[in-house]
Amino acid sequence: MIALREKPTETLAKIAKYTPWQVERKFEAYLRASEELDSLQSSERYFEKEYPGNDRDKHLAEIRKMIGQMESIIAGLSCPRTIGRLCRENMEMTIDFISLLVNDLRRYLILDRMITDSGIQVLSNLIVSTYPALTLEEIAVCFAQAKKGFYGEDYQRLDGSTVMKWLRLYIEDKHERLANKHYSNEVQYKAGKEMGRSERGESLKVFLDKATGAVLLMQANSEKK
């Protein structure tokens, strides 16, 4: 939110380069990294207070090194915060951010029938009440896809119903992606070829390598001109 407030044009340009899959992968990486960090911190407490072995310091050094790596990874990821949660923290600012996204869309699409300033305010409140589980990043990516004609290229007007339709289609696509991913994971698991083994015994080193790769990929995409 800070970046969007201080550098709206630059931030929107970066978000526009993301695909829905990249945003979801970035959020997933954050959640998984947070879970791994919690686990490492629990291990650290165990070795500090309960472990009786003589090699306690060695284990603590290894764990703390991993904690440092994980904290660096988390610092490069985005915490998924829904607009519903953001509204509970600061409703006025959240509405302003959504209005900024809609207005950016209005400036891009040159149509005869365009939503008014007052209409943007009403629409922003409607988006929050209808789709509180969306994040600002997801809304921005949805609008970026609309600019590219993802929801059809023959736009006759830009009004509240049109924007709400785009968001509905985005969510339907998201649910389909998640369902396909879940099915794929189930098939791989049953075949003994789990791809996400961190929950089923994957070594922390492998997870760290994957998470670091995800961060570097997102940074590279955001820096492309």
pTM over 0.75: no
pLDDT recorded at residue 177: 77
Q: What value does the mean pLDDT take over residues 149-175? A: 86
Distance from C-alpha of 39 to C-alpha of 35, rounded to nearest angstrom: 6
Q: Which residues does residue 157 pair with via DSSP β-bridges, in sequence order? A: 113
pLDDT recorded at residue 200: 46
Match 């072995």 to its residue by tokens. 53
Alpha helices in the chain (DSSP H): 2-6, 8-16, 20-49, 56-75, 83-108, 117-130, 136-147, 160-190, 204-223
Distance from C-alpha of 83 to C-alpha of 120, rounded to nearest angstrom: 16
Distance from C-alpha of 61 to C-alpha of 172, rounded to nearest angstrom: 47
Average pLDDT, the chain: 79
Higher pLDDT pick, 92 / 75: 92
- pLDDT digit string (tens) for 191-209? 555 545 544 445 555 555 5
